[in-house]
């Protein structure tokens, strides 16, 4: 399952770091973050609960970029 | 400017004023060095507190190569080494640069997204008292009657139930080709209603409407990353640590070597040079300018009604060397028209067409329709006393008391009419009256007016080979190939043959080159999928085509293909420029600062200046 989220991030490198961080979260099969459109596309692993996974994603992203936002 | 940016702007102004004030006071009053060093911390914290704060966070989260951390180390280090003013100023200029970048990127993003802005904001629903209510298009159920006033966008796909008007499709196709609609016609969301009031019964939900599908496609296009983007992301991951480690090496190795060789120990010069390295270590200019260039290219293309589904396809299109086409509907209009006549002497070509049209009056064959359209007057069926169809051959009719035959050569032979064979490509209709041959009419699919011009433009855009693939007869294909000037053609192909021809072409091309296939997207799906880049034409209102292809042309203008290639090539050129420029300047500054020629001011320029220039360059991708 794929879902797209609106995000808020200030620099392009930070977006890249968020993408890398998101990919390491359990339950995420693939992720793509676009700085230019301020969007994050997440492909969830089979059987994963998107809501729970996204909470971990937000936590992981906050770790690498403290003032990023993900609209859940 | 956003609120966040305004706040940074105020901080920059306050910090700059405070810094100047402190420097001025020092000059006038002759404060001791230590008072100055303490007072100058005030502007430093005003401008840098958020960077310092994030740097601490970075350390706690073990993000050592965080740009905030690196800036903090560089400026604090400079201040500890006695370069107090420089430390504060570098932080100040770093913030100015970041602000600049934020504004420039924000502006670019907005101007690109504005190109794609076809999203309708509301739909009008008529209340019982006749007043109009604006509602969110998402809330409109299928089957609701909505009102679209002149000047408004059609928000949802539907069928006209009342009124007639002209629709402007410019927002979707890039060309303002007016489209007449009246009761019973289907309308596509995203068109602008230009003249009359329309009442439309919606046939789809907003989310399933054309406009939503297109928006979804364009907005997600930057998610499919190009090779150049992936390369930069990988480079960035290596670049920052590499620069940081070389900074460390620069701070330790040269002074130790010099010290051991007995020329005195001078750590502070080398540490200062190393700190300069840290300022240059942020890869932001690269990381931002590449996707922004692609986004600009995709945005620019969408203005012409060319939808590119991802940066990777734009990248592939720039290497296009071979383009294969379907014939019917792509190079030709896909409608059959009377293209020539060969009447015997004593009869004009108009009379011949009129007679054939009348004879075919009751026929539903496509040729009959073409004849009726070519005829000067509406045929008068009262002149026909008897008529009938001869399956597989044509028709006969008794007109004004004489038997008229209209059909193929077989019909003439069967009825024993002596006729002149017509060798032109297309469908030939032979006409006779009372057993006497009157002439022949050629009906064929006509080429688009700009087909030959488009092929020429493709060659000019650097396409090495153009190939036509068609299921049509050899003769018709040869004529079309000659008229358009394609390099090669293959006729009488079944859909499966087309795929194998594409495979042959794929084997023939060189490694880096790519192959495009352009078709109408409806019965070409397997071929579109097999080619490196599938281009669907005339996709307006065809969901299947939008799904199947990598690049979608909203209208069926074949000249958009060379345009798309040119946009892609320009975009890739800009990407390369930015990569070389940004990496080049950074490496140059690294070398210069290692030798002590470039100081921290240069470093700040290398970091932010390059980024702003790269962003401005990226914006050129929008225009062709």
Instruction: Give chain B's mean pLDDT.
Output: 86
pLDDT score, position B86: 84
- Would residue B326 show up in a list of annotated catalytic residues for this protein? yes
- pLDDT at residue B309 above 80? yes
Q: In chain A, which residue's Cα lies nearest the Cα of B216?
A: A4
- Among chain B, residues having any CB pair with chain A shorter than 8 Å are 54, 57, 61, 63, 66-67, 98, 101-102, 105, 109, 112-113, 219-220, 222-225, 233, 236-237, 282-284, 287-288, 291-292, 295
- Domain assignment present for residue B183? The answer is yes
- A4 vs B287: CB contact, 8 Å cut-off? no
- Domain range holding B152? 141-204
Show which of B181, B204, B227 is a domain's final residue: B204
Per-residue CA distances from B590 to B162, B256, B594, B598 (Å): 70, 20, 6, 8
User: Assign residue B82 a region: left if phi > 0, alpha if psi is -120 to 50, beta otherwise?
Assistant: left
What CATH number is given to the structural domain containing B392?
3.40.1110.10
pLDDT tens profile B375-384: 887 778 888 8
pLDDT score, position B623: 82
Show which of B184, B204, B224 is a domain's final residue: B204
Average pLDDT for B557-565: 92
The first and second tokens of residue B312, run together, are 């990777």
- pLDDT at residue B105 above 80? no
Instruction: List chain A residues with CB under 8 Å of B295.
Output: 36-37
pLDDT score, position B538: 74
Q: φ and ψ at B339, to 5 degrees? A: -105, -25
- pLDDT at residue B506 above 80? yes
Confidence of residue B522 (pLDDT cuts 50, 70, 90): low
Preferred mutation among A36, A59, A62, A68 to probe B, highest tally of B CBs within 10 A:
A36
pLDDT score, position B541: 60
CATH topology of domain A2-62: Alpha-Beta Plaits (3.30.70)
pLDDT tens profile B233-251: 888 888 888 888 999 999 9
Count of structural domains, chain B: 2
- Domain assignment present for residue B186? The answer is yes
pLDDT score, position B567: 94
pLDDT tens profile B325-351: 888 778 888 778 888 888 988 888 888
pLDDT tens profile A4-15: 888 888 777 788
Residues in chain A predicted with pLDDT less than 70, given as ranges, are none
- Name the percent of chain B lying above pLDDT 90: 20
Q: In chain A, which residue's Cα lies nearest the Cα of B285?
A: A12
Contact B228, B319 (CB under 8 A): no
Put the strands of the sheet holding B402-407 in their side by side order.
Answer: B332-343, B436-447, B427-433, B402-407, B394-399, B384-390
Angle among Cα B241, B242, B246 to the nearest 5 degrees reads 115
- pLDDT at residue B322 above 90? yes
pLDDT score, position B521: 63
Indicate the SS3 state at residue B388.
strand
User: Assign residue B434 a region: left if phi > 0, alpha if psi is -120 to 50, beta otherwise?
Assistant: left
pLDDT score, position B200: 93
| B287 vs A10, A16, A38: nearest CB | A16
- Domain assignment present for residue B419? The answer is yes
The alpha carbon dihedral of B164, B168, B172, B175 has a sign of positive
pLDDT score, position B574: 94
pTM of the model: 0.80
Chain B contact for A64 (CB, 8 A cutoff): yes
Average pLDDT for B130-159: 89
Instruction: Please give, rounded to a whole number of angstroms, the shortest distance from the CA of B301 to a CA of chain A.
Output: 17
Contact B521, B308 (CB under 8 A): no
- Domain assignment present for residue B384? The answer is yes
- Domain assignment present for residue B10? The answer is no
């Amino acid at each position: 399952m794929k879902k797209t989220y609106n995000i808020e991030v200030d620099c392009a490198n930070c977006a890249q770091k968020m993408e890398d961080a998101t990919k390491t979260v359990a339950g995420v099969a693939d992720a793509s973050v676009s700085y230019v459109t301020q969007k994050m596309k997440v492909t969830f692993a089979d059987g994963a609960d998107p809501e729970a996974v996204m909470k971990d994603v937000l936590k992981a992203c906050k770790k690498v970029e403290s003032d990023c936002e993900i609209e859940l | 400017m956003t609120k966040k940016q305004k706040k940074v702007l105020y901080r920059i102004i306050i910090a700059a004023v405070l810094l100047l004030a402190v420097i001025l006071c020092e000059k006038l009053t002759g404060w001791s060095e230590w008072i100055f060093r303490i007072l100058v911390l005030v502007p430093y914290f005003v401008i840098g507190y958020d960077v310092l704060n994030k740097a601490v966070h970075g350390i706690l989260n073990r993000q050592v190569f965080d740009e905030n951390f690196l800036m903090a180390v560089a400026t604090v280090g400079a201040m500890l080494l006695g370069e107090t003013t420089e430390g504060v100023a570098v932080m100040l200029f770093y913030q100015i640069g970041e602000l600049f970048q934020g504004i420039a990127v924000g502006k670019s993003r907005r101007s690109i997204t504005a190109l794609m802005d076809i999203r309708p904001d509301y739909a009008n629903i008529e209340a019982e008292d006749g007043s109009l209510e604006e509602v969110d298009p998402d809330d409109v159920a299928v089957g609701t009657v909505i009102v679209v006033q002149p000047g408004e966008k059609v928000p949802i796909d539907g069928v006209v139930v009342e009124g007639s008007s002209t629709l402007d499709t410019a927002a979707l196709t890039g060309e303002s080709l007016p489209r007449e609609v009246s009761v019973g016609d289907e309308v596509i969301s995203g068109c602008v209603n230009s003249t009359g009031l329309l009442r439309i019964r919606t046939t789809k939900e907003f989310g399933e409407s054309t406009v939503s599908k297109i928006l979804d496609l364009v907005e997600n296009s930057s998610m499919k990353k190009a090779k150049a983007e992936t390369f930069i992301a990988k480079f960035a991951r290596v670049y920052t640590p590499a620069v940081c480690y070389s900074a460390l090496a620069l701070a330790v190795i040269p002074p130790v070597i010099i010290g051991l060789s007995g020329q005195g120990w001078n750590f502070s010069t080398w540490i200062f040079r190393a700190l300069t390295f840290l300022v240059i270590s942020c890869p932001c200019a690269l990381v931002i300018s590449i996707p922004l260039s692609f986004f600009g290219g995709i945005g620019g293309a969408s203005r012409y009604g060319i939808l590119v589904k991802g940066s990777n396809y734009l990248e592939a299109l720039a290497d296009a060397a071979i383009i294969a086409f379907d014939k019917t509907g792509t190079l030709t209009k896909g409608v059959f028209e009377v293209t020539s006549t060969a009447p015997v002497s004593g009869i004009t070509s108009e009379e011949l067409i009129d007679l054939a049209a009348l004879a075919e009056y009751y026929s539903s064959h496509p040729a009959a329709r073409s004849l009726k359209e070519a005829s000067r007057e509406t045929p008068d069926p009262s002149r026909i006393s008897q008529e009938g169809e001869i399956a597989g051959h044509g028709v006969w009719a008794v007109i004004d008391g004489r038997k008229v035959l209209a059909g193929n050569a077989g019909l003439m032979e069967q009825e024993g009419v002596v006729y002149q064979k017509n060798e032109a490509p297309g469908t030939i209709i032979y006409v006779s009256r009372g057993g006497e041959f009157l002439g022949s009419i050629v009906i064929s699919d006509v080429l688009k007016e700009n087909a030959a011009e488009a092929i020429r433009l493709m060659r000019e855009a650097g396409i090495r080979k153009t190939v036509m693939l068609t299921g049509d007869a050899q003769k018709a294909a040869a004529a079309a190939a000659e008229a358009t000037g394609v390099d090669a053609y293959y006729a009488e192909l079944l859909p499966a043959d087309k795929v194998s021809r594409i495979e042959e072409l794929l084997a023939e091309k060189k490694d880096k080159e790519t192959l495009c296939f352009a078709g109408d997207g409806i019965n070409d799906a397997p071929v579109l999928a097999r080619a490196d880049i599938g281009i669907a034409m005339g996709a307006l209102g065809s969901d299947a085509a939008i799904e199947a292809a990598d690049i979608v042309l909203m209208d069926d203008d074949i000249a958009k293909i060379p345009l798309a290639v040119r946009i892609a090539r320009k975009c890739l050129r800009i990407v390369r420029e930015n990569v070389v420029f940004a990496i080049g300047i950074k490496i140059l500054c690294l070398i210069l600062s290692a030798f002590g020629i470039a100081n921290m001011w240069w470093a700040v320029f290398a970091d932010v200046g390059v980024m702003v220039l790269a962003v401005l360059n990226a914006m050129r991708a929008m225009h062709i």
